[in-house]
Amino acid sequence: MRASMSAEALADALRARAVPVLSSVASDGAIALLLPASSAACARLALASLAIPQVLQHSRDLRHAVVAVVSNSSPDTLLARVSAALTAAGLRAALAPVATTARSVAVVVPAAVRVAAVQALHAALAQAKPRVDVVVIGARGRVARALAQLLSDRGSRLPHAAGLDLRIVGAATREKLLWSDAGLAPATLAADVERSGAPSDRAGLLARILHTGARPRIVVDCTASEDIAALYPELLAAGIGVVTPNKRANARSWAFWRRLQELSRASGAPYRYSTTVGAGLPVLASARALRRRGDRLRSIEAVLSGSVSAILHAIQSGVPFSAAVADAQAKGFTEPHPAEDLSGEDVARKLLLVLREAGLPLERSAVQVDPLVGGELAHETDPAGFLAALTAVDAHWHARVITAQTKGEALVFVARYDGVRATVAVESRPAGDALTRLRAGENIAVLHTDHHDPLPLTLAGPGAGAELTAAGVLTDLIEAARDAATRARARRRRAKAARAA
C-alpha cells in the first residue's frame, strides 16, 4: 500500500483489531506487511477504517512460514540466540525485521525449511543436553572400531535418544594418545590416532585422564590388557566412570573385585561390564538380580564361549580343528590370541564372573579347567605360530568327534557349577539337549535357583562378535553416562544451594 499515512497509525489500527504484524518492510513510500492469513479479514477492515484505498496487492504467500519462539529471556537475548541457532544450522530468516514481543520472537523463513528451522531452534534452545566426555582405550581394536562406527552412524540421533551429548575427547592405542576437548570424529577415530596421536604410555594416559577438565568423564577400555585393568581403582576413586568388555579386572582376586564395586559405590563413578560375559546376553545382570533379591544360585550349566562353540560346530561338520580355529579368529570370534579361548581360561574367567555376580566369593583357582589345547602348544606366544602348530591336534579332535557321533552325541564346551564345584570342559552330550541345540556362535546359561526350580532360568542367544559386543558396550556407555550426568547435575545443585545459604 502507499504509505500516505504514518506507519505508526497503521500499526495502531491493526493492533486495535488484534491483527498481529509478523513482519513489515517500508521503502519508497510503500509499506509491505506480513500478516497471518487468518487475520486477513480484520486487516482489511482496519485498512478500510483508515480510509486507505491504495492497497495495491494482497496475496496468500505460501512460500514463507512464520516460526515463533516463546521464552523468559529478554527479546534481545532471545533474538540473538534464535539468529545464532538458525545461522549455525545453515538457515537464515528470510524477511527482516522479525516480530518481537516481551516474551517471544517470530521469524519468517522459507516454507521449504520450516521443519528444519523448528528442529534447529528446538535443539539449540530447548534441548541443551548434558555433556559427558568419553576416552576410548584400545582405539584400533575390533570392538573399539565397531563402537566408533556405531557412534558415528547414530550421530545426531544419539543426543535425542540418550538425552546426552556424548563426546569422544581422547583415544589411545598402546603407543599413542589423541586428545581434543572439542571432540574427536568417531568415524575416523582409529585412523586419526594413528596419524595424529602423540607418543604416550600408560602413565601419560592416566595423567591426562585424571587431570584434564571437570566434566563427567567415562573411560571405555576396549583392550584385553591387564595393565589397563589395573588402572580402574584409580579412575573410579577419582570419580571417572569405567565401561569395558575386558574381563581382566573382574577376574583378578575376589578382594580386587570387591574393591572396584566399593570404589564405584563410594565415588558414584559408574562401573559397567555387561559384555564381559555373553556379549549382548544379560547373564551378569540376571546373576546380579538373583543376588539382590536373595535368590540362591544352586547350579549353572552354560556355554559361554561363542568362539569355542563355533569351532566345535565346525569340526562336527567335518572341518579340521586347525582350520576351524583359523576361521573363528579371522571372523573376530576369538580373543586376540586364540590360545586364550582354547586354554579354557577365557571361559573360566566368565564362569568366575557369573558366580561372583551371583554372590559367591570365589577365586579363579576354584574353577577347574580341562583345556582344548594343552602341553607345549598352549605356551606358544605368537598367534600365527600357534595357528600353524595346531594341525598337530587335528587327528585327536577328529577321533573325539567320531566317538561322540557314533553314540548319537555331540561335543559341547560346558562351564558348570553344581553347587560345590566349578568346572570347564568339553563334554559329549546327547544330541537334542538344550546345550547341543545351539547354533554356531550362540551362548546359553541355564540357571537353577531357589525360585527357578524345577524349571530353570534360561538365557540364550548370540554371544560373540565385535559388532554385537560394541552394541552392548554402547548400552553400558549410555547408562553410565546418564548416571554420571545425573550425579554431576545433583552436585551442581548442592553447590549452588550451599553458595546461596
Ligand X SMILES: NC(=O)c1ccc[n+]([C@@H]2O[C@H](COP(=O)([O-])OP(=O)(O)OC[C@H]3O[C@@H](n4cnc5c(N)ncnc54)[C@H](OP(=O)(O)O)[C@@H]3O)[C@@H](O)[C@H]2O)c1
ω into residue 53 within 30 of 0, thus cis? no
Query: Does 143 engage in binding with ligand X (CB under 6 A)?
Result: yes
Taking CB under 6 A as the binding criterion, the range among 10-18, 38-46, 388-396, 465-473 that sits at the site for ligand X is 465-473
Q: Which three cell numbers stand for residue 356?
A: 561372583
Question: In angstroms, rounded to a whole number, what is the distance separating the alpha carbons of residues 386 and 343?
Answer: 12
Q: What is the footprint of ligand X within residues 323-352 (CB under 6 A)?
A: 332, 335-336
Query: Residues 187-216 vs ligand X: string with x where CB under 6 A?
Result: ---------------x--------------
Query: Does 95 engage in binding with ligand X (CB under 6 A)?
Result: no
Strands 131-137, 217-221: parallel, antiparallel or unpaired by DSSP?
A: parallel
Cα of 249 vs its chain's centroid, Å: 21
Closest Cα partner for 352 from 226, 282, 251?
A: 251
Closest Cα partner for 73 from 81, 65, 62, 61?
A: 81
Taking CB under 6 A as the binding criterion, the range among 149-157, 211-219, 245-253, 418-426 that sits at the site for ligand X is 245-253
Taking CB under 6 A as the binding criterion, the range among 3-11, 16-24, 95-103, 461-469 that sits at the site for ligand X is 461-469
Question: In angstroms, rounded to a whole number, what is the distance separating the alpha carbons of residues 428 and 410?
Answer: 5
Question: In angstroms, rounded to a whole number, what is the distance separating the alpha carbons of residues 409 and 404?
Answer: 5
In angstroms, what CA-CA distances link 342 with 22, 327, 347?
73, 14, 9
Q: Which of 100, 223, 250, 343 binds ligand X (CB under 6 A)?
A: 223
Query: Does 246 engage in binding with ligand X (CB under 6 A)?
Result: yes
- β partners of residue 172: 137, 177
Q: Which of 464, 474, 481, 488 binds ligand X (CB under 6 A)?
A: 464
To the nearest whole angstrom, how small is the minimum distance from the Cβ of residue 193 to ligand X?
10
To the nearest whole angstrom, how small is the minimum distance from the Cβ of residue 322 to ligand X?
21
Total of chain residues touching ligand X, rule CB under 6 A: 28
DSSP assignment, residue 122? I
Place of cell 569405567: 242
Strands 297-303, 442-449: parallel, antiparallel or unpaired by DSSP?
A: antiparallel
Query: Does 229 engage in binding with ligand X (CB under 6 A)?
Result: no
Query: Does 245 engage in binding with ligand X (CB under 6 A)?
Result: yes
Query: Does 374 engage in binding with ligand X (CB under 6 A)?
Result: no
Question: In angstroms, rounded to a whole number, what is the distance separating the alpha carbons of residues 239 and 252?
Answer: 22
Query: Does 241 engage in binding with ligand X (CB under 6 A)?
Result: no
Q: Which of 141, 197, 239, 241 binds ligand X (CB under 6 A)?
A: 141
Q: Which three cell numbers stand for residue 473?
A: 558396550
Q: Which of 129, 176, 247, 350 is catalytic?
A: 350
> Is position 331 annotated as part of the catalytic site?
no
Report whether 248 contacts 231 (CB < 8 A). no
Cβ proximity to ligand X, 145 vs 448, nearer residue: 145
To the nearest whole angstrom, how small is the minimum distance from the Cβ of residue 227 to ligand X?
5
Closest Cα partner for 213 from 272, 156, 169?
A: 169
Q: What is the footprint of ligand X within residues 284-303 (CB under 6 A)?
A: none
Alpha helices in 122-201 (DSSP H): 142-154, 157-162, 189-196
The amino acid present at 347, given as its one-letter code, is V
Query: Does 173 engage in binding with ligand X (CB under 6 A)?
Result: yes
The amino acid present at 432, given as its one-letter code, is G
Q: How many CB atoms lie within 10 A of CB 86?
A: 21
Taking CB under 6 A as the binding criterion, the range among 49-57, 133-141, 283-291, 392-400 that sits at the site for ligand X is 133-141
Q: Which of 227, 234, 262, 418 binds ligand X (CB under 6 A)?
A: 227
- β partners of residue 178: 171
Residue nearest ligand X by beta-carbon distance: 141
Q: Which of 469, 474, 477, 484 binds ligand X (CB under 6 A)?
A: 469
Query: Does 462 engage in binding with ligand X (CB under 6 A)?
Result: no
Name the site residues for ligand X (rule: CB under 6 A): 137-138, 140-143, 172-174, 202, 222-225, 227-228, 245-247, 275, 279, 332, 335-336, 464-466, 469
**Catalytic amino acids?**
350
